Amino acid sequence: MEKFHLTELANKLFMYTDAQRWQDLLDEVFVEELWFDMSSAGGGELRKLKAVELCDMWAEGFKGLDEVHHQAGHYLIDVRKEEASIFAYAVAYHYKNSAANGKTRVFVGSYDLNAINTSKGWRLNQFKYNLKFIDGNTNLE
């Protein structure tokens, strides 16, 4: 049953991000502060961020895009009492209709997520993205 809830948590991360449902991410997915690492994609080194700062950063990064779509799966989940690790493959499409040199950029990689079981249920407290490659119009200009 725990793996079901953790799979749902990972799905909410990607689906709420695509829909820009920032408050739902804050209420249902993240703890108040989490470890965040997107250094493989140029997003800075491992650091602790408030979840609201992360959502604000993503909202700013999505400005000017017409669509964002994550497709995730191949979850490997390891539950250790009140903590769990979630590994996932994911592809993220960014689409901008007005881009002159191709309308999409595609990020292909994996995620190392960590969750803790809180009084509100499972929540992510660590987020690491491992970029394999980017394809398409990387600047969407």
pTM recorded for the entire structure: 0.95
Q: pLDDT of 92-130, one tens digit each?
A: 999 999 999 999 999 999 999 999 999 999 999 999 999
Question: Thinking of the domain 2-136, which architecture would CATH place it in?
Answer: Roll (3.10)
Q: pLDDT of 62-86, one tens digit each?
A: 999 999 999 999 999 999 999 999 9
Please give the structure tokens belonging to residue 63.
């400005």
